[in-house]
Amino acid sequence: MEVQLKRVTNNPVNVKILQKIIHQTFINTYQKDTAKSELQTYLDREYNVSQIQKQLDDPNCQFYVCIVDRQVASYMKLNLGNKQTEAFPTASVEVEKLYIYPEFKRLGLGTKFLKKAERVAKQAEAKMLWIGVWEENEKAIKFYRKLGFKYLKTHEFRLGSEIQRDLILAKRIQ
């Protein structure tokens, strides 16, 4: 199995690939608990082509994809500096998104992404890496805790007209 982790750059092909995986993995993750119209409204607003291009052009937003045997299997979005969705008194880096297609789960891709996130955080001289996880995503919470993330607080996440609660999990960067 050949696995490659690549930073996504802003060009039309990459934007379409990124938009496809963002939309598909998000819908796959939340479709059981959230109306499809709510999901589509959120994705159309937050992850349309223009928004993705804008984020790719911002040095404080970094997208990565993981390619397994020449197939895009997962993606991660990191936010640095003022692009983070929460402010902390400590220098930090946010893992805003980390999604994996179901058929590629349990291959260690999430761990590879988080190791990359830690390297980015160290380069940015951050003291903390954090992620917001939907409180009902028990598998993800268990995974992050296994990797040393600890509960910090909660925050609200608006998904269309619905308000959901995320747990903020953080890990100290050494």
Tokens, residue 113:
């992404």
Please list the active-site residues.
Answer: 144
CA distances from 99 to 66, 69, 76, 82, 89 (A): 10, 18, 7, 23, 28
Smallest CA-to-CA distance from 119 within 173, 41, 65 is with 173
The residue whose two tokens read 């992620």 is 131
